[in-house]
Each structure stands twice: as C-alpha cells, then as structure tokens.
Amino acid sequence: MDKKRKINSKKKKNNMKNIDYGLLCVIFLLLFVGIIMVYSSSSYYALYEKNSPEYFFFKEILWTGVGICAMLFTMAIDYHYYKKITGQMFIITLIFLVLVLFIGAEVNGARRWIRLGPLSFQPSELAKYVLVIYLAKQLDRKNSNINKFFKGVVLYLGISAVFAGLVLLEKNLSITAIIMIVAVIMVFVGGAKVSHLLPIFPAGLLAGVALIFVAPYRLKRLTSFMNPWADPSGDSYQLIQSIYALGSGGLFGVGLGNSRQKALFMPEPHNDFIFAILGEEFGFIGCILVILLFMYLIYKGVYVAVKAKDNYGFLLATGIVSIISIQAVINIAVVSGSMPVTGVPLPLISYGGTSLVINLLALGILLNISRQSKNAK
C-alpha cells in the first residue's frame, strides 16, 4: 500500500514538472515589450509630472517583478485548490467592490481605486477572475442545471450581473461589459443551450444602449467616435492624437524613443493608449508583431483549455483566456478608432500595477492547468 502511494505521489510530481514553454515565453515577450514601451511612452510625461523620466519605468519594473513571483506561485499550486476557497474569494471580492464605492479615490468622476498609502488597488480587476473561478466551480457540478433556462442560464448570468452592477456603479462600463461577455462565454461552453442564450443578446444590446444614453459622458464618447473631427480639441482629442500617432508610424515607425505624440500631446500615453505610441515608434510591422504575440497567447490558452484533464480546468482556462483576449481586442480597437473610446488597458503592456499582477496571477493558474494536461508526460 505504501509503495503504491509513493508511486502515485511520484507520478503526480512528474506531471507537475511539465511547463508549457511556448506559453511561458510569449508571456515574457509581452512583458518585455510592456517594460520597453512604458519607459518610452512615459518619459516626457514623467519628467513633466514627477521630475524624473524613469518614474513610471521603475514602478513598472517593480510591479513586473511582483507579478512574475505571483505567477510562479500560482503556477506551482494545483488549480483544484481554488475550489475549496471559491466562497471566501467571492465574498471578499464583493466586500471590496462595495467598499470602493464609499472609500475609493475619485479620479475623473469615477471611484475605481482603493488607496493604501502609496499603493492603489482596483477591485474590478480582481472581480473578473474571481467570477471566472466561481462560475467554473458551479458549472462543473453535476447538478449545475445549465441545460435549464431559469435555474441555469438566468441564475448564473444573474450572479454575474451582481458583480457587473457593482463595477458599473464605479462608472466603469468597459469592465462591466467584459464581465458579462466572459460570463456568457463560460455559460455557453459550460453546456447551455443556444436557444436559451439567444434572447440574451438583444437584451444585452438594449441594456448597453440604455446605459450609454442615461450617462451624458458616454453619449459624448459615442458621438465623438462617429465624427471625431467635429470636436478635435474636446472629447475627440485623445482619439485624434492616437490616429496621428499610428499614421505617423507608417510601415516601420519613427524609431524607439522618437515618438512625437508622447511629448505631452497624448494624455497619459503609458496607459490605455500605449499601443498608439508603439505603432508610432515601430510602425505597422511592430503593431502586427504584437498582435501576433497576443494571437499566439490566445492560441496556447485555447490549447491548454482543450487539453485540460477535467471539465473544471477546461472552464477555468476558457475564462482566463477570454478575459485576456477580449481586453486586447477592445484596447486595440479603441486605439485604432474602430470603436468608441473606453478605459481598457492592454494586458501585460499598459502601465498599471493591479492589472499587471492580477493578470499574471491568472496566467500562473493557466500554466498550472497546462502542467496537468491530458498529454503531460
């Protein structure tokens, strides 16, 4: 008996030694691009605002180090462990989402950050992944009722809407939309009937239109997107500067560090519009290479999901990849003027400690799922 246990333990350890090096490499490549672009895009702004061109660069280096340690930590933990603490994670996240509405720092009319001395924490970044973990556990149950409309689809999307509603109160429509889109994806891959999901799309579209029209600033963003040149120095200013940056880059770019738009023309160029500076400095070729890196990351994530050894791993991997891919698509679409301006950072590249660390935590979970895949040897 003891001999069998030792053999099983040895097999488990061997399975946990396998790492998807392709996935790991693309993560590090995107982090490298992020560090370089944060330094390049933020230098003028940092010098003007903080009296040091390296201010945001050093902070990004610090958070990248913390994020890599976090990723290695979750990569070493069996992903089934999260089933045991899902309830606690769900409650803690709800508390944070409520707290930020009362004690959160107000920036540009929105309360999204909880200040902890020199640090800040954005609960909505955590909420996306905690919801994925919660839905993965619930949909993996034998009695999930996912093939039923009210006891399954409506119930799970209703719980997701609680998270989304609290994020919406922070005046963060983009993350609200991402939460609900990811929830629909997970419910679909979890076994919901297509006929049960069809009514969700017109309802979601109507809700989105209503939310735009009830908030004047959202309506202004939509109208400025439809005709950005009508108000070039007002609501359309950031989008127009982004178009200038991408257009100036041409095929090969103006060279690393030579962007003109980052010289106080583009507001906070190291944040949501960092892809525009990347396009200006590295041109169309640089943009395509970064897009290809994201496509490879998504491909590897889907591969991990398909090869997951159980349904829980499949659902968990699907949710994590969905968040990364949807955020990347929205960010690039906004920067290129393909959709209205909204505040979604480019994963692993845009400046931001909370987003970076939590994304790397989630990618660590994805790597752990890959270490226990069906074809692990």
State the 10-residue block means of pLDDT for the chain, 377 residues long: 44 60 96 96 92 94 96 96 95 94 79 80 93 96 87 93 93 91 95 88 85 80 81 83 93 93 89 95 97 97 94 97 96 92 91 93 96 70
With respect to residue 8, please indicate whether it lies within any of the assigned structural domains: no
Number of domains in the chain: 1
With respect to residue 187, please indicate whether it lies within any of the assigned structural domains: yes
With respect to residue 5, please indicate whether it lies within any of the assigned structural domains: no
Are 313 and 240 within 8 A, CB to CB? Answer: no
pLDDT of amino acid 13: 47
What is the side-by-side strand order in the sheet with 105-107? 105-107, 110-116, 119-121
With respect to residue 147, please indicate whether it lies within any of the assigned structural domains: yes
With respect to residue 279, please indicate whether it lies within any of the assigned structural domains: yes
pLDDT of amino acid 222: 82
pLDDT of amino acid 375: 64
- Nearest Cα residue to 318 out of 85, 70, 79: 79
With respect to residue 289, please indicate whether it lies within any of the assigned structural domains: yes
Q: What CA–CA distances, in Å, run from 7 to 1, 80, 167, 285?
A: 10, 21, 48, 51
Q: What CA–CA distances, in Å, run from 63 to 57, 260, 321, 350?
A: 10, 27, 22, 12
With respect to residue 377, please indicate whether it lies within any of the assigned structural domains: no
Quote the CA–CA distance of 184 and 306 in Å, as a whole number.
18
Task: Count CB neighbours of 295 within 10 A.
Answer: 13
pLDDT of amino acid 17: 57
Residues 209-256 have pLDDT tens digits of: 888 878 777 888 888 888 888 777 777 888 999 999 999 999 999 999
With respect to residue 9, please indicate whether it lies within any of the assigned structural domains: no
Are 267 and 238 within 8 A, CB to CB? Answer: yes
Specify the pairing of strand 105-107 against strand 119-121: unpaired
Altogether, the residues listed in the chain come to a count of 377
b (16+ CB within 10 A) / e for 127-137: bbbbbbbbbbb
Determine the Cα angle at 30 with ends 50 and 370, to 5°: 135
Helices (H), 77-193: 81-84, 86-103, 123-140, 155-169, 173-189
pLDDT of amino acid 264: 84
The reported pTM is: 0.92
Print the domain residue range for 284: 18-371
**Residue carrying the six token digits 């799970």:** 156
Q: Which long-range contacts does 54-63 make (Cβ < 8 Å, 24+ apart)?
A: 56/270, 56/351, 59/351, 59/353, 60/34, 60/35, 60/351, 60/356, 61/35, 63/352, 63/353, 63/356, 63/357
pLDDT of amino acid 364: 97
pLDDT of amino acid 315: 97
Task: Count CB neighbours of 159 within 10 A.
Answer: 16
Q: How far apart are the first and last CA of the chain?
A: 24
Three-state SS at 140: helix
Task: Count CB neighbours of 121 within 10 A.
Answer: 18
pLDDT of amino acid 2: 44
Half-sphere exposure for 294 (CA within 13 Å, toward CB): 23
